[in-house]
Structure 1
């Protein structure tokens, strides 16, 4: 079935025709013959320490004799033969002997051959699914699987003929009688994960293998003078193809050493490099980390000389910039040149590495993920959109080319692949530095360079007693800010949790050979699935192991320069000053909903929107506090006026808290000075001539060891409460939803109670405390959620303020009775006025002030932009908010914030760059007026693209001629969210191309929108 793919980005290597010549070998036997024409040697070091060194010519002649023996044993050309060997000298002889004989070798991991508790069942299973005809091995081999194959051959049970071979016969004698029987379409086979069920076998044609080697040689600048050194298993695609066959294509010297030699004594690696003047090495990242630690213990006295190294390939698992930098630094002491690293990416399905980033400098890399570079000649890569990935530009990594497998021989799944494109299972993005691998799609686990099918591992886990069937999940992820992937297992346990989890850990570690970082017992309900049953593994990691909540900010008062002592010249057009009824801080806590309603109705009629449009607006509050830190975070009347000014299209809006002793002239001087500097921060003008700015400061992630066991959500029976309660329950907390009316218990999530009560009196609170019960050993957090998330602007303030102000008072009393922490979930409208919903902004500000004055209990306010699961706005409103730097958060973000238990009041969902509130980092937000002031005259449109010129004439009446800019955003040119629908309508009417608010957000400049419209019209023939 054909699958449609939306491509996010793509890269292509140069044509292979640039590398192939008339003398380029067409098959692997041709590669061996070409290497034999040179003078280089091939060397092996087996696990016992025996060395074997011979020229490529001598090795080729010996291989031909082995091939004759294979043919004489009756193994037919084109048959598949398992290579039963673990020592480098035996693997290379059997591999090349099979190739020259026209037999297709199947390389298998050493653990299958060495297994003592396996009677060859894996080979029997393999024979049922693939045409395996022979098992080639050295005479005297004592592998269990060989003896089992001999027994099976007597009854023809498996259909596999064991072929013992004398690998040393007639060494050094005359040339062989027979010739090569392979072809460009002959194949080499790799078993990638046969230890966890049905094995997966990857066939690769000789042509693709040679193309891979030619490309790797070209992009990395290798030649026949190279001395290659491999100590990874030769049964692995990296050891045999990426290192050994590459050196054969070069006719260069090659050394392969048994992995056990280096792991037992890592200093042997340094001795070999020094004695043989090795120039090209490779390892997965974990091995470079190991070698760096050893190098740090070696004195730089000249006895170890690494100056010959020119190429360090890092592939087989995720690459760490930190590990690379440490390796380069540690080995640099011993003479290794800098910038020898080449991060690479590949797999058995791509004949090993097909992406390379040569001459990588780890010390200069500041990216979150190391680039693995660009595709080899003849290879293509692309990023296809992934439906369950939210990060922009990240999608499925897919590859195409002659080195990419055409289909699995056994096992494997090409679902999602199409038109020759192979979906790798990795998630990646592309930028100017090439391809960045950012994670896995959950279908594969890589351990020490070996790939395992996660579904097979999950099947193994469910064999453990106590694991609930259908709940096993295995995934790998990269924790922030770690530089390596971690492996996590999730399952639901029915039994003793510690014992079952320990059994699961042992079983998985035995299979993959490395420690498992996390084994967690989770509720079955926490294992979310897509509509087709695929587990959302990323959500499990985010929820239970590595939560990544939206960034938190606090609004902090920061001392500024003293109040100006000299008057500036007055601006031609001063700011609009709003001061009057209700704008006095000390009295606000006494307001009742109907009193606050009367005040807001007064201002609603007193302030006309036309008076505010395009102006700098200052809301002045008479504050009787002598210190800035004693001021509240917001003020209901000021929040109302800020929202009204923003909705009217004001150029900038700020709140100024001024002590009564501050003279009007002084206040005017402060405003002139601030406006001249282009700042938009709220101000406090103190009684001592002191000036403070309220700025946005990042709040570090906090992990409170005394996190709550029990969350009581007041006003929790609405959409947000239901979603948040379910999320907290999945994280292991007890949850009680309190509200009116309460929903029934049918179908409720495990661990959630619902209590229907109207907390309109102290007696109602005490009754609720009695129903909740007192548990001295339980840590409780009361969370106040009352209030609709998106009320209409015409809602009367009593209905909005009542549930918030009266509800917060009840929540304060409830928290006091339960000895609980109180958290008020409010809205950023109380501070930013970014949506124009005036009464709702005032209600949020009032509830926050009441909570701040509740000194009887510890409390926190979390002011949120909007929560996706409870949103009642359209996509266009979300797009506008995002353009203003207000990100929509998920219920997981809010739950993670509550669980972390921040000790201060915070903003949640405010982006790093927003014009609505200034940052402390010395870069105050620049209002639209400042952006426009750089160019007060109408711009010269000469040189602009014709489509952009036409669009500029269309939108100029809305913007004014002095602010037009080809690359300026709509907001930089003075428009507000209120203007977006009108701008969309005008553009649609004049261009004939339908443009909505979402399009304005996707194409936020004149240049981008003009290009979009022109491209769309060209496609439609308009």
Structure 2
């Protein structure tokens, strides 16, 4: 331990009459004449005395009890407006329910279709979702699907009568918060009522607040700062409290000044970035007396790093409007400590010469200490640890609780203790070290925003370590209004003069690209990954390597020879090809001829006759083979391989390969000289050193994926033209992206694109082909699926040739994986890739991607199946990075290291699974728990004679994606617990699924 500080004993603020439950706090507040005011995003206001508010809350609490939610059950609060959040929060507290507050972006369209709720329901015992009766959030409809009870509540005054004088909470009841996620994945933090109240009692004592206080909060009430550090604090002292929707102030900072002046607010709080924004707004307000800030006595600055310069500017700017000096109180806290537990009241920013701002001393009942950190060389700087009743006991979801046996919690911050209290050195991007000096990023951001042309409130300064470098570099991100190159250069010069080292990158980004947490913290790591070091996931290519001649014969599953599929359409040459209609007819013929029942549990070999003597000339995939592979996997085949055979090979040699011992699912090539080759997966490195394209012409780009990819490429500084059939000619959305209507299967239209795309021979152009919907209607499968991926690719190659451009065909791994998508879609993707290789008049790359998160065209269950098989969902950032690098070889993107249905790495062949029969009454059976044995019994009909094994995944036991829905229904019927495909993905073995089922039963009985 390097140093330590302790606050006064908790007994100095907690007495025998102090509340221990939050319902007691509400009762105390109701004994005074003060009230609570809410201002929603539409401007509607509501003021009630605490007494009237309690009466309404009690009535809502009675409705919650009537819904059947038991005491101590966790319920998500689905609300975004202050009036609704406060009513639902307090009603849940009084009813004995434990509210879980979630950020607004999870409830509106940004939260998608409720996947976060699905994940939460499987990781935590969340039982209900509380919402206003007229709420339209997507998660309300999704709640029941994930096992939560949606409870619609009337939040109005009802019949005017109060609910019963009853409260079901206790000192150990909890409120649950999600952490911001600014430095990693969000966690769910439960905090006990008693700890929350201890924090509030200490905060009002240290900062001199009392019942005469008028508190104002405009930060999200879903955040620990807004709810506990502001609202509950004011309730503890029965003070007047005002909460406004954040959007009101963010859209019009003048709203903050009007409310403070109108309500004579005395206590405010904001993170540092907001004080900087408000200072800018104050400088535009005339000092004519209409705005009077003389009532302010307490300005809490917390939630992110504090800048002395920003505080001084705020004090100076608002002083013009009457705000007294000496009101600032830098503070520190986190969800894990019930918000602020360190305060520095009456801070004077004008006289502070320290490189970091002190956040003061611990509240009563709180201890802090600095513990040596191995990777920190600065004197006195180490890990900050904190202890006290406000510190969480455990995470509900996520997080590795770094808490010692004697109660010390390691916060993840680096700090030092000086005479004036605790100074934070930084955490994850807030600490900039240059020439041995540590700089606060907030101070540097404030300096950068003084440069003319930098848009206020958009600057983010962070450090990052370039690949292969031994030390960190400094990067600045900001939005520029003016000459971008001049502004960037001036920002770099200004900061270099301060820190003494060159700024590696100054990046001009649009404000929309600066992602923030719910209280405004910039997600700096994402900016670095997006604009400076956008390395995509692992890229793979497929190569042929010589392999040994066939060994001893291997039986094709259950003592049977392999099923061989060969015939119509299974041929390849450099000149032969199918029209879309011909390919469709061939696929329909195979659909009629293949009997799925004949393939189940068998080894399947798809044989292609190829007129290529060299393996290097073979395409990566074949449309008919892709169709048959998908069909075989969907039917439950034991393994599927594709064998390319030259016509010179005799049948006896082919029989030797068909019956030989080879890696299951391996693609093989039997050459004209008896040579045998095996296809393997090889990692590909991205080379970002070469010149990148300036102009991207995206064909089929007006769908969801095209729009998202175009926006990402435009953010990276490229000119983008989207071509498709869903837009009007010349449509301008003000985003700098050109949109052109054209039929990409028409030669005349493609020729016209040379003119309408605005080709500039001085630019490096890249044509990107995306066309083709994955799930077309049955009647237009040729026009909307196969045609755009064959004729469309040919026309795209012609356009690239005319523009002297690189051609990139964005295909799908369905062309190679087979079994994770529609059979015809797999064939169409393979046809697109084959066509691209045949018409390579220009440099061509095929990028085979998995599901794309920003433009998902499959349901969550299909995505989960892919993830279970080793296919990672990718982002448009990954695809954009790959396209900008122009890899010289065709690649696979989103394929995991051990994805079993794609050829393995040459150095790490995947061993064949153990398929030996196991007796149903063998020695493994007694080791199964009763639940696992019950599940094994349900599984055996799906596996035939094979017995289920405890720690073997469903796929290695022989199940396929097509089996999982039926298996899920069977498990639900046998156990009485709701189990779906997602549960089978999360718990992929008998042991794990049995534990989940037993845990669900236990939670249901509580």
TM category (shorter chain) comes to 0.5 to 0.7
Q: Cα offset for 1:507?
A: 3.8
Residue 891 (structure 2) pairs with residue 912 (structure 1): no
Match of 1:965 among 932, 946, 949: 949
Tell me, which stretches of 5 or more residues in structure 2 are unaligned? 1-88, 90-174, 180-184, 190-296, 301-323, 327-341, 392-398
Q: Cα offset for 1:425?
A: 7.4
In structure 2, relative to structure 1, the CA distance for the partners of 1:188 and 1:284 (3 Å cut) is: farther
Distance in 1 (CA, whole Å) between partners of 2:570 and 2:902 is: 21
Contact 1:492 1:523 in 2 (8 A): yes
Contact 1:714 1:811 in 2 (8 A): yes
Q: Cα offset for 1:891?
A: 0.8
Q: Cα offset for 1:284?
A: 5.5
Residue 931 (structure 2) pairs with residue 947 (structure 1): yes
Contact 1:774 1:818 in 2 (8 A): yes
Q: Cα offset for 1:868?
A: 1.4
Distance in 2 (CA, whole Å) between partners of 1:583 and 1:635 is: 8
Residue 619 (structure 2) pairs with residue 619 (structure 1): no
Which residue number in structure 1 is paired with residue 565 of structure 2?
578
Q: How does 1:269-348 map to 2 (within 5 A)?
A: 285=376, 316=381, 345-347=382-384
Distance in 1 (CA, whole Å) between partners of 2:735 and 2:857 is: 27
Contact 1:681 1:924 in 2 (8 A): no
Match of 2:916 among 930, 933, 936: 933
Which residue number in structure 2 is paired with residue 174 of structure 1?
none
3-state DSSP of counterpart to 1:978:
coil
Q: Cα offset for 1:963?
A: 4.1
Q: Cα offset for 1:487?
A: 3.0
Larger radius of gyration: 1
In structure 2, relative to structure 1, the CA distance for the partners of 1:10 and 1:764 (3 Å cut) is: closer
Contact 2:426 2:440 in 1 (8 A): no
Match of 2:667 among 682, 691, 697: 682
Which residue number in structure 2 is paired with residue 857 of structure 1?
842
Contact 2:538 2:893 in 1 (8 A): yes
Residues 355-398 of structure 1: per-residue CA shift (max 9 Å, x gap): xxxxxxxxxxxxxxxx999766634447xxxxxxxxxxxxx858
Q: Cα offset for 1:9?
A: 9.2
Q: Cα offset for 1:740?
A: 1.4
Which residue number in structure 1 is paired with residue 116 of structure 2?
none
Residues 320-361 of structure 1: per-residue CA shift (max 9 Å, x gap): xxxxxxxxxxxxxxxxxxxxxxxxx5149899xx9xxxxxxx
Q: Cα offset for 1:3?
A: 5.0
Match of 1:871 among 850, 853, 856: 856
3-state DSSP of counterpart to 1:468:
coil
Residue 961 (structure 2) pairs with residue 985 (structure 1): no
Which residue number in structure 2 is paired with residue 4 of structure 1?
177
Q: Cα offset for 1:517?
A: 3.4
Contact 2:629 2:818 in 1 (8 A): yes
Distance in 2 (CA, whole Å) between partners of 1:959 and 1:512 is: 67
Q: How does 1:883-898 map to 2 (within 5 A)?
A: 883-898=868-883
Residue 585 (structure 2) pairs with residue 598 (structure 1): yes
Which residue number in structure 2 is paired with residue 248 of structure 1?
none
In structure 2, relative to structure 1, the CA distance for the partners of 1:704 and 1:611 (3 Å cut) is: farther
Residues 232-281 of structure 1: per-residue CA shift (max 9 Å, x gap): xxxxxxxxxx6xxxxxxxxxxxxxxxxxxxxxxxxxxxxxxxxxxxxxxx
In structure 2, relative to structure 1, the CA distance for the partners of 1:532 and 1:821 (3 Å cut) is: same
Which residue number in structure 1 is paired with residue 504 of structure 2?
517
Tell me, which stretches of 5 or more residues in structure 1 are unaligned? 12-127, 132-156, 160-184, 217-241, 243-281, 288-313, 317-344, 355-370, 383-395, 413-423, 427-439
Contact 2:431 2:440 in 1 (8 A): yes
Distance in 1 (CA, whole Å) between partners of 2:594 and 2:579 is: 23
Contact 1:188 1:203 in 2 (8 A): no
Contact 2:384 2:413 in 1 (8 A): no
Distance in 1 (CA, whole Å) between partners of 2:520 and 2:556 is: 67
Residue 781 (structure 2) pairs with residue 753 (structure 1): no
Q: Cα offset for 1:625?
A: 0.9
Q: Cα offset for 1:514?
A: 5.5
Distance in 2 (CA, whole Å) between partners of 1:1002 and 1:448 is: 48
Which residue number in structure 2 is paired with residue 817 of structure 1?
802
In structure 2, relative to structure 1, the CA distance for the partners of 1:747 and 1:531 (3 Å cut) is: farther
Q: Cα offset for 1:775?
A: 1.9
3-state DSSP of counterpart to 2:679:
strand
Residue 825 (structure 2) pairs with residue 840 (structure 1): yes
In structure 2, relative to structure 1, the CA distance for the partners of 1:933 and 1:380 (3 Å cut) is: farther
Distance in 2 (CA, whole Å) between partners of 1:926 and 1:795 is: 42
Q: How does 1:169-208 map to 2 (within 5 A)?
A: 199-203=357-361
3-state DSSP of counterpart to 1:968:
coil
Q: How does 1:242-281 map to 2 (within 5 A)?
A: none
In structure 2, relative to structure 1, the CA distance for the partners of 1:350 and 1:753 (3 Å cut) is: farther
Residue 998 (structure 2) pairs with residue 1011 (structure 1): no
Distance in 2 (CA, whole Å) between partners of 1:567 and 1:377 is: 61
Q: Cα offset for 1:764?
A: 2.2
Q: How does 1:438-837 map to 2 (within 5 A)?
A: 440=428, 445=432, 453-480=440-467, 485-509=472-496, 516-529=503-516, 533-563=520-550, 572-586=559-573, 589-674=576-661, 677-703=662-688, 705-743=690-728, 748=733, 750-791=735-776, 796-837=781-822
3-state DSSP of counterpart to 2:655:
helix
Q: Cα offset for 1:644?
A: 0.7
3-state DSSP of counterpart to 1:617:
strand
Which residue number in structure 2 is paired with residue 378 of structure 1?
406
CA-atom RMSD, angstroms? 4.2
Q: How does 1:69-80 map to 2 (within 5 A)?
A: none
Which residue number in structure 2 is paired with residue 275 of structure 1?
none
Distance in 2 (CA, whole Å) between partners of 1:797 and 1:610 is: 28
Query: Normalization by structure 2: what TM-score?
Result: 0.60
In structure 2, relative to structure 1, the CA distance for the partners of 1:984 and 1:448 (3 Å cut) is: farther
